[in-house]
């Protein structure tokens, strides 16, 4: 059988890629066709996404793929980060430049929303973790600052849905990304229209919800002609990048909550796979989220600030004339004192500070800890703190599901960080399996392959991932230092709350 090729458009917070998934009937091989930078654009006092440039780069990638693989290409699908959106008029014109989720317009919006609809009621309806960057709170801010835009909007498209519209003209909301908005009814997979009306958000702009694997149609003729593609379908993968990554976790325990995933990148998303949303008073108290997955599953998880702390430290070091690779930073952190200074990665000061090292030092100063003074100590603080946060989340997930997590699967770019992988095993006292690095792209293209009949169940997708990937294992070491540090971190948390 000739190889069949599925194209994944994978857009992250720092970069975007067009990746070819080459399928020989047994194994999947990924080939990066085109990579391009991404990131926030500062405009006046706001932060936006340059989606037109991203779309131009996607088309460049499609053209390059056509030159390499031609008629072997079956379909294409996009995955992106969650929560951000594009507004379109009836004629398909964009209304404004889409906001970046780190824009400050949502500061204080959650408190105003809770005055209209209590926090507990919003959670009961949506089952989502409360973060000011959620689409719900972005829309409240949009209504407050630019009411005319929402009045003139005909359709709201989440980021991956916008790129599918650009490809083929579809106007739908794929379930997994829609489930990140806090605008969807948990368990029913429909928009929470009553909640939206209560918060003065127009419900008419929300499109039809479709499931991952839905065929959205052929490429627009104009796109196909420019790219040199013919007869290629557009298939919605799990369009939230974490949903694609979780679909490609190489577990042999599909349908069980005995394993946890950690999608490690700019954000760390840690959770378990469940069949029904967990919407209880304790889940609300722990501020966990229930996001959509493949085949009727839900991702019971916690969003954690993640390697953003290290990325922004690196940016600050470079601005001061000190250039490091990420491997250099791992080396510097390994040489720094262990578990000396700790922070809560999810403290709001770390969301988008002008200077991340100073933000970390400020937290340590306020909590009476040693202040990290070297680049290695700052990065070590971030790694230690993330591992301890993962430990806390593992405990919360076990409490909510009533079972024990036996193994942690780390996927994504962060799975290459052997130091943090070992810290995670040590802090959580669980074995860690790291890989694949390209879980998001693998999940994307394998769901497309399933839509064309090449692969069967979710369990079979994961079997293909195991056959196609090299995994690394990390066994837990001495728990003593981590137990003491976890107790110290809990005392810091209580001191800040008091």
Q: Which residue has the tokens 């293209």?
A: 445
And the tokens for 399? 């409490």
Asked whether the beta carbons of 319 and 311 are under 8 A apart, the reply is no
Q: What does the DSSP 8-state code read for residue 6?
A: E
> Per the omega criterion (within 30 degrees of 0), is the bond before 367 cis?
no
Q: Collapsing DSSP states into helix, strand and coil, what is residue 437?
A: coil
Nearest to 61 by CA among 250, 209, 231, 223: 223
**Contacting residues for 399 by C-beta, under 8 A, at least 6 apart:** 282, 286
What angle is formed at CA 198 by the lines to CA 192 and CA 201, rounded to 5 degrees?
A: 75
Considering only CA atoms, which of 471, 463, 392 is closest in space to residue 424?
Answer: 392
Residue 463's alpha-carbon distances to 246, 410, 460, 468, in angstroms, are 13, 17, 5, 9
Other Cβ atoms closer than 10 A to 464: 21
Q: Of the listed 10, 79, 103, 241, which one is catalytic?
A: 241
The secondary element (H helix, E strand) that includes residue 100 is: none
| Known active-site residue 50 | no
If phi over 0 gives left and psi between -120 and 50 gives alpha, with beta otherwise, what is residue 96? left
Q: List the structure tokens of 401.
A: 């599901």
Q: How many CB atoms lie within 10 A of CB 494?
A: 9
- The secondary structure of residue 33, as a DSSP letter, is E
**DSSP-assigned beta bridge partners for residue 259:** 407
Report the SS3 class of residue 132: coil
Q: In residues, how long is the chain?
A: 498
Residue 136's closest CA among 87, 65, 195? 195
Distance of alpha carbon 119 from alpha carbon 113, whole angstroms: 8
**Spatial CA neighbour of 422 closest among 382, 387, 390:** 387
Active-site residue numbers? 241
């Amino acid at each position: 059988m000739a190889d069949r090729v599925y194209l994944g458009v994978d857009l992250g917070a720092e970069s975007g890629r067009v990746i070819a998934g080459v399928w020989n009937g047994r194994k999947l091989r990924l080939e990066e066709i085109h990579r391009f930078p991404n990131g926030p654009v500062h405009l006046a006092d706001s932060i936006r996404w340059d989606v037109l440039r991203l779309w131009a780069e996607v088309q460049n990638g499609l053209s390059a793929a056509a030159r390499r693989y031609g008629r072997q290409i079956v379909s294409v699908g996009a995955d992106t980060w969650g929560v951000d959106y594009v507004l379109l008029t009836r004629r398909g014109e964009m209304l404004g430049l889409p906001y970046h989720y780190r824009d400050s317009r949502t500061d204080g919006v959650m408190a105003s929303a809770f005055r209209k609809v209590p926090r507990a009621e919003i959670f009961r309806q949506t089952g989502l973790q409360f973060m000011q960057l959620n689409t719900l709170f972005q829309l409240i801010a949009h209504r407050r600052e630019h009411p005319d835009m929402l009045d003139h909007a005909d359709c709201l498209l989440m980021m991956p849905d916008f790129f599918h519209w650009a490809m083929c003209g579809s106007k739908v909301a794929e379930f997994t990304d829609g489930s990140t908005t806090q605008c969807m009814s948990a368990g029913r997979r429909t928009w929470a229209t009553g909640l939206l009306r209560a918060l003065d958000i127009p419900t008419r702009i929300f499109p039809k919800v479709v499931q991952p694997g839905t065929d959205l149609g052929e490429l627009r003729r104009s796109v196909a002609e420019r790219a040199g593609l013919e007869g290629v379908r557009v298939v919605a993968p799990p369009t939230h990048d974490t949903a694609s990554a979780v679909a490609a976790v190489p577990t042999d325990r599909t349908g069980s909550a005995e394993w946890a995933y950690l999608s490690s990148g700019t954000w760390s998303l840690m959770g378990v796979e469940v069949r029904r949303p967990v919407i209880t008073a304790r889940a609300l108290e722990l501020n966990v989220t229930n996001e959509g997955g493949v085949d009727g599953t839900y991702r019971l998880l916690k969003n954690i600030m993640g390697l953003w702390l290290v990325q922004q430290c690196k940016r600050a070091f470079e601005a001061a004339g000190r250039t490091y690779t990420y491997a250099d930073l791992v080396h510097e952190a390994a040489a720094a004192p262990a578990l000396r200074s700790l922070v809560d990665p999810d403290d709001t000061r770390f969301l988008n500070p002008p200077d991340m090292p100073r933000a970390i030092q400020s937290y340590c100063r306020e909590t009476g800890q040693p202040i990290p003074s070297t680049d290695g100590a700052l990065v070590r603080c971030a790694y230690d703190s993330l591992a301890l946060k993962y430990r806390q989340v593992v405990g919360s997930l076990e409490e909510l599901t009533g079972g024990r997590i036996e193994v942690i699967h780390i996927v994504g770019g962060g799975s290459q960080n052997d130091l943090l992988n070992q810290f995670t095993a040590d802090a959580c006292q669980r074995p860690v399996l790291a890989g694949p690095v390209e879980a998001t792209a693998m999940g994307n293209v394998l769901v497309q392959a399933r839509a064309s009949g090449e692969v069967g169940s979710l369990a079979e997708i994961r079997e293909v991932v195991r056959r196609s990937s090299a995994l690394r294992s990390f066994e837990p070491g001495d728990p003593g230092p981590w137990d003491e540090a976890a107790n110290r971190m809990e005392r810091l948390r209580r001191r800040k709350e008091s």
